Amino acid sequence: MSKESPTLETIVSLAKRRGFIYPSSEIYGGFPGVYDFGPYGAELASNIRRAWWKAMVQEEVNIVGLDSSIFTNPKVWEASGHVSGFSDPLVECRACNTRSRADHLLEAIDVVADEKISLEEINALFDAHRKQIVCPNCGKKDFTEVRRFNLLVQSNLGNFANDWTKEPTYLRGETCQGIYINFKNVVDTVRVKIPFGIAQIGKAFRNEIAPRQYIFRKREFEQMEMQMFTRPEEAMTIYEVWRQKRWKFYLDLGFKEENLKWHEHENLVFYAKAAWDIEYRFPFGFKELEGIHARGDYDLTQHQTHSGVDLSYPDEASGTRFVPHIVETSVGVDRTFLAVLTEFYDEDELGGETRTVLRLPVALAPIKAAVFPLLKNKPELVAKAEEVFAVLKKEFMCEFDDNGNIGKRYRRQDEIGTPFCVTIDFDTLGETPELKDTVTLRHRDTGEQERLSISEVVERIRQASIY
Ligand code: GAP
């Protein structure tokens, strides 16, 4: 594997070793499809959210944010079509009872079964290839028929009956439904005019049949979704604008263009006007990172019909009303996280030693600067370093480290992607009078060091952190 393409094992090992990602409930043997972010992972995930929010809300003039609840009236999921149709094709191995996604097993032998295929069609396709399809767990070729399995996660929230499964509530399967059901609230309370967007970041839950490829496909995950409400006639122009903007988002973050690819959905759901994915070159190949969809007026029409509330919008010019069309951009925090670790992982040689380095953009780095006293056993150095740390931590996520030799401290910070290390030495204390109150600033990517005043260091980090 070239150093631009770390293996999944390499990423998993670094993420565990350095406190980015832990398997959920590890002391109880784990819990499939669920992971926890460790201290550096929580910071990285939060910086990913912040970068997205900045690009999608802060820097846009016509997009507002929202934070809707995970639980809704269950009617929302009936109106959206999730209760009846949000399912994946499931097969079970008769030998070991492992459940797999039929479309994934077909994909493994290079047979495409797109997401809109009917149950009859996928059964016919599966039957035609049964002899080649092996169980990923036991290697046998003995499967049941394909059946549909609904992905909505059910709950008894607010239902105290023993047979609550007859009237379940649902944990949201996607965050955008919370946006659609608040469309009227936003129009009525905030000064927005079509075309405008509502953006939201939050958890979503899906009973994925076979969660796999680490944090790529989880059962509890997080989405960053933006829904743009448009006039019918301008929807496709706005759609093209958003395709370009979302592509640029990754380039602006520092992704190499050759690691991104467009994928057009050919077999669209009946209401969709267009659907493209941005795929990323994950360690297991190009796979969907983000979806950009032109959804027509389906979503608001469905909620209007099921709720009985008018969700149309006035056209001032003609005096008529119309149901807005929707352009959606949707990406997972977790998939972006995995793409970021993959994209910026590197191994190189520095000072005659091989090192692992995460070349994260400064804006995404969990720790912006690490502060080191040159020696741990010199109280005057430690005191001065604590003083510098107190200044820096007011503005940035910083770490103080006085453990081990400086080289080891640098390597540790390189592995978690810290772009700057600040060392306090005897010159800082005034041993060389003209260098008093200056520190060394060491750059992660090159290992180069420069001598700067503390206020210059603050300004350097501030400027570098702007994304
Ligand atoms: N509202 C549209 C929607 O939810 P989707 O293609 O099902 O569309 C959008 O999901 C994005 O959410 C995906 O491109 C992916 O980044 C993320 N995503 C979906 N399912 C996921 C899962 N099980 N685990 C992690 N991320 C997931």
The two three-digit tokens of residue 295, written as one number = 């959804």
**Residue nearest ligand 1's atom 17 by CA:** 332
What pLDDT was estimated at residue 114?
81
Which residue minimizes the CA distance to atom 19 of ligand 1? 332
Cα–ligand 1 centroid distance for 287 (angstroms): 12
Q: For atom 18 of ligand 1, which residue has the closest CA? A: 332
Query: In which band, very low, low, confident or very high, does the pLDDT at 447 lie, cut at 50, 70 and 90?
Result: very high
Cα 445 to averaged position of ligand 1 atoms, centre (Å): 33
Amino acid at position 453, single letter? S
- Token pair belonging to 23: 């398997």
Q: At what angle do helices 454-465 and 379-393 cross, to 10 degrees?
A: 40
* Residues 324 and 310 sit within 8 Å (Cβ to Cβ): no
Mean pLDDT within 112-124: 89
- pLDDT value of residue 20: 98
Q: Chain-wide mean pLDDT for the chain? A: 96
For the stretch 139-163, pLDDT in tens is 999 999 999 999 999 999 999 999 9
Residue 415 near residue 429 (C-beta atoms within 8 A): no
Q: Which residues line ligand 1 (CB under 6 A)?
A: 174, 176, 206, 208, 217-218, 221, 223, 225, 288-291, 328, 330-332, 334-335
> Residues near 227 by Cβ (< 8 Å), separated by ≥ 6?
176, 179, 180, 197, 198, 199, 299, 326, 327, 328
pLDDT in tens, 386-444: 999 999 999 999 999 999 999 999 999 999 999 999 999 999 999 999 999 999 999 99
The pair of structure tokens assigned to 281 is 């070159």
CB 202 within 8 A of CB 175: yes
Strand locations in 156-246 (E): 169-171, 196-205, 220-230
Determine the distance separating the centroid of ligand 1 and the alpha carbon of 186, expressed in angstroms: 25
Q: Which atom of ligand 1 is nearest to the CA of 219?
A: 23
pLDDT at 3 > cutoff 70 = no
Strands (E), 6-117: 21-23, 35-37, 63-66, 87-92, 99-101
Q: Residue 93 has which token pair?
A: 């191995």
Q: What is the pLDDT of residues 219-269, one digit of tens each?
A: 999 999 999 999 999 999 999 999 999 999 999 999 999 999 999 998 888
226 φ/ψ angles, rounded to the nearest 5 degrees: -130, 130
**Do the beta carbons of residue 344 and residue 254 sit within 8 Å?**
yes
Closest atom of ligand 1 relative to the 175 alpha carbon: 1
Write the residue with the smallest CA distance to atom 15 of ligand 1: 332
Residue whose CB lies within 8 A of the most ligand 1 atoms, among 179, 288, 295, for a mutation test: 288
Using the 8-state DSSP alphabet, how is residue 179 labeled? Answer: H
Q: Whose CA is nearest to atom 11 of ligand 1?
A: 331
Nearest CA to ligand 1 atom 25: 217
With cut-offs at 50, 70 and 90, classify the pLDDT of residue 270.
confident
Terminal-to-terminal C-alpha distance of the chain: 31
List, for residues 205-215, the tens digit of each pLDDT value. 999 998 889 99
Pocket residue to mutate for ligand 1, from 223, 268, 289, most atoms within 8 A of Cβ:
223
Model confidence, pTM: 0.96
Label each residue of 230-297 as H, E or C.
ECHHHHHHHHHHHHHHHHHHHHHHCCCHHHEEEEECCCCCCCCCEEEEEEEEECCEEEEEEEEEEEEC
Tell me the pLDDT tens digit for each residue of 286-343: 999 999 999 999 999 999 999 999 999 999 889 999 999 999 999 999 999 999 999 9
pLDDT tens per residue across span 333-369: 999 999 999 999 999 999 899 999 999 999 999 999 9
- CA atoms within a 13 Å half-sphere pointing along the CA-CB vector of 399: 22
> Which ligand 1 atom sits closest to the C-alpha of 173?
4
Q: What percent of the chain has pLDDT over 70?
A: 99
Which of 207, 224, 330 to mutate for ligand 1's pocket (most ligand atoms within 8 Å of CB)?
330
pLDDT tops 50 at residue 1: no
CB 296 within 8 Å of CB 302: no
Closest ligand 1 atom to 291 CA: 14
Please count the other Cβ atoms lying within 10 Å of the Cβ belonging to residue 305: 11
The Å distance, Cα 330 to ligand 1 centre, comes to: 7
pLDDT of residue 4: 64
Average pLDDT estimate for 48-53: 98
Angle subtended at Cα 331 by Cα 329 and Cα 332, rounded to the nearest 5 degrees: 155
Q: Which residue lies with its CA nearest to atom 14 of ligand 1? A: 290
Say how many CA atoms lie within 13 Å of 274 toward its Cβ.
20
Select from 5, 48, 21 the least CA-distant residue to 286.
5
Given this model, what pLDDT does residue 2 score?
42
Average pLDDT over residues 45-52: 98
Q: Can you tell me which atom of ligand 1 is nearest the CA of 288?
A: 14
137 CA distance to ligand 1 centroid (A)?
25
CA dist., res. 140 & res. 94, Å (int): 9
| Ligand 1 mean position, distance from CA 299 (Å) | 17
Question: Ligand 1 atom closest to Cα of 223?
Answer: 12
Residue 108, token pair as written in the block: 């493994």
Nearest CA to ligand 1 atom 6: 291
| Helices and strands per DSSP (H, E), number in the chain | 15, 23
Q: Are 66 and 199 in contact (CB under 8 A)?
A: yes
CA angle, residues 31, 35, 37, in degrees to nearest 5:
150
Amino acid at 420: F
Report which ligand 1 atom has the smallest distance to the Cα of 277: 14
